[in-house]
């Protein structure tokens, strides 16, 4: 497992934990039971979390796919909810870290190719 895959796995676990903490404990909804709401918000990252626990190499890809949703939600929450600004920014930052880490090995492989030898 490369360093980028370990960072991606850590970001997946952190995003899952953030969803449970944010919606279940730190800023629970006023008119609904907090734990079903927390489970609902944690649902998009759950397949990636299961893949991390199984040690599957595609966990970062599926996590990055879910992170696109979390990034959008984090920016919206940081902008629209003054009491949840830091939670939204944390979610957006973790999402960005996850997308970069999941893409890192592929991008490194693509741009580290040696140029073709000159034609003789």
pLDDT tops 80 at residue 12: yes
Interval 27-74: pLDDT, tens: 999 999 999 999 999 999 999 999 999 999 999 999 999 999 999 999
For residue 88, tell me if it sits in a domain. Answer: yes
> By residue range, what is the domain housing residue 57?
3-111
Query: Does residue 65 form part of some domain?
Result: yes
Average pLDDT rounded to a whole number, residues 8-33: 96
120 within some domain:
no
Predicted structure pTM score: 0.91
| Weakest mean pLDDT among 7-11, 20-24, 110-114 | 110-114
Task: Provide the token pair at 24.
Answer: 């279940």
Contacts of 49 (CB under 8 A, 6+ apart): 12, 13, 16, 63
| Residue 97 counted as domain residue | yes
| Overall domain count for the chain | 1
User: Within 13 A of 59's CA, how many CA atoms are on the CB side?
Assistant: 23
Tell me how far apart the alpha carbons of residues 66 and 52 are, in angstroms, rounded to a whole number: 14
Q: Where are the alpha helices (DSSP H) in the chain?
A: 3-21, 34-42, 46-54, 59-80, 85-111
For residue 89, being part of any structural domain is answered with yes
């Amino acid at each position: 497992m490369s360093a980028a895959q370990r960072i991606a796995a850590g970001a997946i676990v952190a995003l899952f934990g953030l969803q449970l903490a944010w919606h279940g404990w730190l800023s629970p909804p006023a008119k609904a039971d907090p734990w079903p709401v927390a489970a609902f918000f944690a649902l998009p990252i759950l397949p990636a979390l299961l893949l991390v626990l199984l040690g599957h190499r595609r966990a970062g890809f599926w996590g990055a796919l879910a992170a696109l949703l979390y990034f959008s939600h984090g920016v919206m929450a940081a902008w629209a909810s003054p009491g949840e600004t830091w939670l939204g920014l944390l979610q957006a930052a973790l999402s960005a870290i996850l997308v970069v880490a999941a893409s890192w090995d592929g991008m490194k492989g693509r741009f580290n190719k040696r140029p073709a030898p000159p034609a003789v």
